[in-house]
Structure 1
Amino acid sequence: MTSTATEATDDLDVIDAELVDEKQPAVLPVNAAPDHAASAYRLTRHTVLAEGELPPRVEEQSAFTARDFTVPDRVKKRIDERGARNTKVNRTSTRVRFESWCAAEGRVAQPTTTTANVAAYFGYLMETGKDQAGTKCSLDTLLAYLTRIVSGYPKGDRPDGSLVREMIEDYRLEEYIPAGCEKEQSAGLTLRYLVKVLDGIDEGTRIGRRDAAMLVLQYGMLYRSVEVTNLLVKQIRVDTDGVWVWTAKSKTRRKGKGRWRFIRDRADLQIVVRVRAWLADLRELCEPTEHDQNPTGGEPAYLPAKPLFRALTTLGNLKRRANATVRGLFLTGRAVNEMVKARAKAAGVSIINGLKVTSHSLRAGPNTDMAEALVPLAERNQAGDWTSDSTLADDVYNRPDGTIDVSKHDPLDAVPLFGAFEKEPDT
C-alpha cells in the first residue's frame, strides 16, 4: 500500500503553490499560460480594466516606425512656436538665467532641481535687485519668474513654489513697500484729456487721420495696445450711429469665442467720421514695392484679412515690412504706446494727476469715465473684457480726479517769496 502510493507520487509533477482565498481576485488570470515570456502583460499606472478583462499583452503593442514619430517641417514649426511669442521669449530667457546662475553657484538646474536651489535664487534676486542695477525686483516680476521656472519641470519633479511665494510676500511687506517701490500706474486718459489730444492732431494728414481713428477706437473698446493693432479690416463695420467692432480674443479671453461690440457715435469723439476717413485712406493705398511706395494697380491694403492700422511713411504711404519678421504687416504694441505718448505730450497732457500717459491710459480712461457716470461694474467688466467676477475695473483701472485740481494749483502759491527772491513792495 505504501509502496504503491510512493510509486504513484513519483509519476506526478510536483508544483509549488500557495493557497489562495477564492474570494480574493487573482493577480493574474488562473488560466494564464506557464510560459512567462509569452504571457507578459503591458500594465501602467493608467491601465483601467473591467472585472475579468485581461490587460493587453506586450506583443500586442503597436510596432511603431520612425515615420510614426516624424512630422513635416511646417508642423514642427507650429509645435515649436505654439503660444504667444512674447510669452515664449520671456519664459525661455527666465529659465536660461536661472540655469546660468545655478551653474555659477555649483548647483544643479537640469534635468530637475531642488526647492532649495529655487529659494536661493529668489533670495539672490531680492538682495541684488534687477539687472544688477540695485533696482528692486517688482512683485509681478518675481511671481512671473517663479511660475516660468517651476512650470519648466515635469509635474512630478517640480520644486515647491509655495515656499518661494511666502518669501515673496515677506519681501513685499518688509522690503518692497518700505522702499517706496509700489507699482506705478498709467494715467487715465479720460474724455476731458482725450479731447485735448484729438484737438492737437492734424487730421489733414493721413498719419493724423490714422492716429485719431486709432485713439477713438481704443478708447471706445477699452483696448490694450496689442488688441487695437490686431484688428483686421473685416473686423470693423461702420453704421449710421456708431461702429461695430469684432474682438477675436483678448488677454482674459484667449480661448473664448470672439464677439461684436457696438460703440455709439458721440459729438466729442466723432467715431464714425474718423473711422470712415481712415478707411477711405486705406482704400487708396497699395502695398509698396522696391521701386514704388504706392504702385498704381498694386496689391491693395484694403483687404478683409489685412490689418486695419498700418505703419506709414512721413508722406502717408505704407511702409515696407520686409524686415518685420515678428509682426509682419501688423503694428507692434510698442509703436502704439509711443504714438499715444507723443500725441499726449504735444497736447500738454503727458502727465495727468502725477501719472504718465501711456497706451494703457486708453483702458483706464474710459473705465474711469463710466465709473463716475455710475455704470455698474458688471457692465464695465463686459466692456473691457475683464472676467465677470473681476474687481480690477474698480480696484486698479479707476483714476478719479476727485479733489485734485488739474490746473496745478499749489496752496504754497499763497506764501510770499522769501529772502533774495522777496518781491519789492510797490512804492
Structure 2
Amino acid sequence: MSDETEIIDAELVDDSEVLLPAPPEQAPRPRFVVTQHTMLGPGELPPSSEPAAPGWTDADFRLSPEDVEDLNKPNVADNTDRNRRSTLGRFRQWCAEQKPPLIADPCTTSTYTRYGLHLIRLGRAGEYKPDSVGKYMSRIWNAQPKNLRPDRDPFLGQLRAWRREWAKAGGEVDRAATATIGYTLRILDTVDESTNIGKRDALLIALAYSNLHRETELADMLVMHLRVLDDQIRIVTAASKTDQAGVGVPNTIRDRADLQQVRRARAWLAVLRDLGADGPRQPLFPGLASTGRLRRYPEDRKRGNRMRPGTINERIQLLAQRAGVAYIDGRKVTSHSFRRGSNTDMKQAGVSLAERNIAGRWKPGSFTADTHYDNPLGAGTRDPLAQVPLYGGPAHEAVAAARAAAQPQAAPAEEQP
C-alpha cells in the first residue's frame, strides 16, 4: 500500500441538481433590414445587415512588385506634384515643431484647424492671400486617407471670414493681364521670325490667343495634334483641366490676316522637319538651344525634350517685356494673358457664353469665362445701362406731357362785373 496521499479538487453539489453540459456556442443570428422600400417575394427573406463576405483568399489582396512601383509614381503633372509635396512637407514640419509634436498623417480635425488658423494669421500679416491658403489646406485634406479625413468646416468658416475682411481692405486676387488682340499683335510684331526660336515663339503666341490655350496644354502638344490646311488650322487639345481623362478636344480655327496662323504653323513645321523632329508623336514645341538647334536633355528627363510649362510662361514674359507691355493695366503679362484677352474680345464681339465655354474648354454651364476671364480694357463696349433712356430726353418729355394731360383741368374763373 502506498504511503503517498492523492489530493483531488472537487465540489460538493446537491443531488437534486442535474448538471448539463454547456451548450455549444452558436453563430449570431443574422439581422434583417426592412425599410419602407423593401419588397419581398414568396419565401424570400429580407436583406441582411451583414451580408456574407465573398470567398476572398490571400491572393485577392496581393499586388505584384510591378503594380507597387506603378502606384508609387506620381499621377499628376510635374508642377502639381511638386506643389503638393512642398505643401505637405511644410505641414509635416509644422506638426513636428509643435510642443508636443502632432501627428500629420493622418491628422485630427484639431490639428488641421490649428494649421489653417496659423496660415490665416500669417496671411493677415501679409505673407499669404486667402486663395493661396485655401489651396494649401485643400492639398493637405486630399492627402489624408479617405476614411480619416478631418472636418474642414471650422477652418473654412474662418477662411471665408478672412476673405471678406481682406476684400474690404482692398485685397485683390492676382490675375494675369488681359492681352486683347491689339496687345497680342504688338507682342508678335517684336518677334524675330527669321530665326528658329522666333518661328516657334510666334506660333506659340498665335495658338495661345486663337485657341485660348493654357501653358500646360501648349507644352504637351504633339506634332500630330496640329493639322494645317490652306485657310485654317485644326488643333486637338489632348488633355486639359476639364478633360482629365484625355479624351481630347478638337477645334478648327480659321486663318486670320492679323494672326496668320496658317503661315506661322507651316513655317514652324518646316523647322521641325529640318531638325528631324517632325514625327507625329514628337513634341510640337521642343526645347531649343540658343543656336536654334534641339536642346539636349538628360535621358531620364520625365518630359523628354518637351518645353516645360514654366519655360513657356517665362518666354512669353520676356517677349512682352521686349514689346514694352510687360504690364497692362497694372497686371503682369503671362502666358495666361492671351486666354483672358481672347475671351474678353469674343465677349465684346457678342459671342455667347456657351460658345466661349467650348472655345476655352470650360465646363458646360460654367460662368468662369464671365466672372474671372472677362476684363475689358478702358470703358468697354457692352453696358446694359446704356439701354435705359436718358432722363430729360424725349422719354422725359413724353412722360411730362402724359402727366399734364392726366391732370384735372381747373374751372375757368368767373368774370367780374
In the superposition, the TM-score normalised over structure 2's length comes to 0.76
Alignment of 1:97-246 (within 5 A): 97-105=90-98, 106-129=100-123, 134-174=125-165, 176-246=166-236
Of the three residues 58, 62, 72, the one matched with 2:57 is: 62
2:337 aligned to which of 335, 357, 361: 361
Letter in 2 for 1:27: R
Separation in 2 of the partners of 1:63 and 1:338?
A: 52
**Contact preservation (8 Å) 2:91, 2:104:** no
Please give the secondary structure, in 2, of the residue aligned with 1:80. coil
Match of 1:297 in 2: none
Structure 1 residues 344 and 111: CA distance shift in structure 2, 3 A: closer
Cα pair 1:222 1:366 within 8 Å, conserved: yes
User: How far 1:13 sits from its partner (Å)?
Assistant: 6.5
**Which whole-Å CA distance do the structure 2 matches of 1:78 and 1:267 have between them?**
49
* Deviation digits for residues 346-398 of structure 1 (CA, Å, limit 9, x no counterpart): 11222222221110001001101101101001100100001111111111111
Shift of 1:138: 1.6
Q: What amino acid is the match of 1:232?
A: L
8 Å CA contact 1:126–1:136 kept in 2: the answer is no
Matches within 5 A, 1:23-422: 27=29, 51=45, 61-64=56-59, 69-73=62-66, 76-105=69-98, 106-129=100-123, 134-174=125-165, 176-255=166-245, 257-285=247-275, 300-322=276-298, 325-403=301-379
Q: Determine helix, strand or coil for the equivalent of 2:253.
A: strand
User: Which amino acid is the alignment partner of residue 109 of structure 1?
Assistant: I
**Count of aligned pairs:** 348
**Structure 2 spans left out of the alignment, 5+ residues:** 1-16, 32-43, 381-417
Give the Cα–Cα distance (whole angstroms) in 1 for the partners of residues 215 and 309 of structure 2: 5
Instruction: Compute the RMSD of aligned alpha carbons.
Output: 3.0
Residue 153 of structure 1: CA displacement?
A: 2.5
The Cα of 1:61 is off from its aligned counterpart by: 4.4
- Cα deviations across residues 164-221 of structure 1 (Å, max 9, x unaligned)? 00010111122x2355331122111111111111111111111111111111111111
CA offset at residue 27 of structure 1? 0.8
State the distance in 2 between where 1:86 and 1:214 align: 20
Aligned CA distance change for structure 1 residues 159 and 207 (closer, same or farther; 3 Å): same
Q: Deviations over 1:124-178 (max 9, x none)?
A: 2122349xxx53312222111222222233333222101100010111122x235
Contact map agreement 1:252 1:385 (CA 8 A) in 2: yes
Asked if the contact 1:220–1:366 (Cα under 8 Å) also holds between the matched residues in 2, the reply is: yes
SS in 1 for 2:59: coil
C-alpha distance in 1, partners of 2:46/2:110? 48
Q: Residues 125 and 239 of structure 1: is their aligned pair in 2 closer, same or farther, counting only changes over 3 Å?
A: same
The Cα shift of 1:278 comes to: 0.4
User: Which residue is equivalent to 1:419?
Assistant: none
Alpha-carbon shift at residue 88 of structure 1 (Å): 2.8
The match for 1:42 is none
Larger Rg: 2
Paired letter, 2:253 = I
Distance 1:61 1:309 in 2: 50
CA distance in 2 between counterparts of 1:128 and 1:381 reads 37
Distance 1:280 1:75, change over 3 A: farther
Residue by residue over 1:7-55, the C-alpha shift from the partner in whole angstroms, topping out at 9 and shown as x without a partner, is: xx98x967769xxxxxxxx8159xxxxxxxxxxxxxxxxxxxx849996
The CA distance in 1 between the partners of 2:47 and 2:150, in whole Å, is 39
Distance 2:190 2:143 in 1: 49
**Would you say the 8 A contact 2:225–2:237 is kept in 1?**
yes
Q: 1:346 to 1:362 in 2, by over 3 A?
A: same
CA distance in 2, matches of 1:270, 1:373: 20
Q: In structure 2, the residue corresponding to 1:184 is in which secondary structure?
A: coil
CA–CA distance in structure 2, aligned partners of residues 14 and 72 of structure 1: 53
* Cα gap change, 1:376 to 1:91, in 2 (>3 Å): same
Deviation at 1:83, TM superposition (A): 2.6
Measure how far apart 1:87 and its partner are: 2.6
> Separation in 1 of the partners of 2:146 and 2:317?
43
The structure-2 alpha-carbon separation of the partners of 1:222 and 1:61, relative to structure 1 and needing over 3 Å to count, comes to: closer
Per-residue deviation at 1:80? Answer: 2.9
More off after superposition, 312-321 vs 238-247: 312-321
Letter in 1 for 2:120: M
